[in-house]
Amino acid sequence: MKKTLLTILMLLPLATFAQGNDVADKFGNFLRESGKLYVVFAVIITIFAGIIAMLIRQEMKLSRLEKKITNKN
């Protein structure tokens, strides 16, 4: 079971390379020419920044709660 899954996962990237880069190039060129590529980058960066900010905030809250618990004991 594990060998089959590993084989499939190893061959998956080969299937994407076999298709060629024509579609990817055309799509990339379309986004670049229309100026939408920068919008895509901005959205992705905004999402990652939000995730990082949320994780930092959660870590701060968790640290605060851990300090309260250790001070009570």
pLDDT digits (tens, 9 = 90+) for 4-43: 766 776 766 665 555 556 766 777 777 778 878 888 889 9
> Cβ-count burial of 55 within 10 angstroms (0-12 exposed, 13-18 middle, 19+ buried)?
exposed
The 3-state DSSP class for residue 72 equals helix
pLDDT of 18: 53
pLDDT of 1: 66
Q: What is the DSSP string of 1-67?
A: -HHHHHHHHHHHHHHHHHT-SHHHHHHHHHHHHHTHHHHHHHHHHHHHHHHHHHHHHHHHHHHHHHH
Q: Where are the domains of the chain?
A: 1-34, 35-73
